[in-house]
Amino acid sequence: MLHSKYILSVICLLFFIVGCADHIVSECDECNPVESDVKLNTFSGIQTKLFDTTCALSGCHGSNATQANLLLTPGNSYSALVNQQGSIFSQFLRVKPGDSENSLLIKVLKGELSQMPPTGKLSDSIIDSVAMWIDNGAINN
């Protein structure tokens, strides 16, 4: 009798777990990969998860971008950002390694000078991750 109660309990637990699995998957399907808690602490991560999906688009910072309209496509963005003077806000470096607070990239992501992306401010966790990459030396990794 005790053995059958144990088996019945295990079966009920399995049904409960399987029933919850669909709910968990459906919540994750709605996640925006850029807005998730993924840390963008490497330049390759920033390029792939932020620039490629949010910035390097046609009409923005894609292949048709001008010098004033910064080119953020793979293979171009690092050299266009790190230790480069801003064209519009020339008093700042676009990315000043080791100093995110004085990097133009962080100022525009936070909306302090102008808002980038123009569609609205990114989450604080994304901005903080980019700032961490800058504060850690803005390494091309």
Q: What share of the chain is helix, strand, coil (3-state, %, to 5)?
A: 50, 5, 50
What are the distances in angstroms from CA 50 to CA 19, 46, 88? 35, 5, 22
Convert the pLDDT of each residue in 23-73 to its tens digit.
Answer: 333 333 333 444 444 567 899 999 999 999 999 887 788 877 665 568 899
Residues 6+ apart with CB under 8 A from 64: 58
What is the percent of the chain where pLDDT is above 90?
Answer: 53
**Domain ranges for the chain:** 43-135
- Entry pTM: 0.70
